[in-house]
């Protein structure tokens, strides 16, 4: 049986490294599931998701000329077509809304503001950061603070 890109196969986890897991497919052929292809969410440690001898379904994502096989577990999972994809904004910081942090809640997202509103927001945020830095600096005695 030839291994073709796009095919879904069953395999057994035979090795785990810090960068991924080796999966043995049929006929003793082994491929690598890179750490980024294990799950849809962030994978810090492969051992949190896979164990040796686990049976997994993988999708073949590439086959190199030298015989190396790239596999994916997350692409092997069929997702419903109508499932919404997570949307990330450039200003998104860890999935928190400003209202969740007790800050200035109720502001519209940056994409729906006029240029003047964006500039006003930038100026306000910038002044907040500078004043915060100045407070920290004065607590540490920076910028010409006296030393005894």
Global pTM value: 0.53
Residue 14 within a domain: yes
In the predicted model, what is the mean pLDDT of residues 129-136?
83
In the predicted model, what is the mean pLDDT of residues 123-130?
90
Cβ atoms of 11 and 58 within 8 Å: the answer is yes
> What's the pLDDT at 44?
92
Residue-number span of the structural domain to which 121 is assigned: 107-140
The domain that contains 33 carries what CATH number?
2.40.50.140
Q: Do 111 and 58 belong together in one domain?
A: no
Nearest-5° angle of CA 84, CA 89, CA 94? 90
The C-alpha atoms of residue 134 and residue 124 are separated, in whole angstroms, by 15
Question: Mean pLDDT score of the chain, rounded to an integer?
Answer: 80
Q: How many domains does the chain have?
A: 2
User: Is residue 22's pLDDT more than 50?
Assistant: yes
User: Is residue 95's pLDDT more than 90?
Assistant: no
Residue 146 within a domain: no
Query: Last residue of some domain: 72, 94, 121?
Result: 72
Q: Is 148 helix (H, G, I), strand (E, B) or coil?
A: coil
Stretch (H or E) spanning 60 = strand 55-63
Q: Tokens 């000329």 identify what position?
A: 65
The C-alpha atoms of residue 75 and residue 36 are separated, in whole angstroms, by 11
Q: What is the pLDDT of residues 63-91, one digit of tens each?
A: 998 989 999 999 998 776 666 666 655 55
> What's the pLDDT at 21?
95
> What's the pLDDT at 74?
92
Q: Do 16 and 66 belong together in one domain?
A: yes
Stretch (H or E) spanning 104 = none
* pLDDT confidence tier of residue 148, bands split at 50, 70 and 90: low
DSSP one-letter code for 8: E
């Amino acid at each position: 049986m030839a291994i073709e890109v796009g095919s879904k196969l069953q395999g057994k986890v035979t090795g785990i490294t810090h960068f991924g897991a080796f999966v043995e497919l049929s006929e003793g052929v082994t491929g690598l599931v890179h750490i980024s292809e294990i799950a849809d969410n962030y994978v810090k440690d492969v051992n949190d998701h896979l164990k040796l001898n686990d049976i997994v379904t993988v999708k073949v994502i590439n086959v190199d000329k030298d015989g190396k096989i790239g596999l994916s577990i997350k692409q092997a999972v069929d997702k419903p077509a109508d499932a919404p994809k997570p949307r990330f904004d450039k200003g998104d910081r860890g999935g928190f809304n400003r209202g969740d942090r007790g800050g200035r809640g109720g502001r519209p997202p940056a994409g729906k503001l006029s240029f003047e509103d964006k500039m006003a927001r930038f100026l306000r945020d910038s002044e907040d950061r500078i004043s915060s830095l100045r407070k920290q600096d004065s607590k540490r005695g920076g910028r010409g603070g006296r030393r005894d």
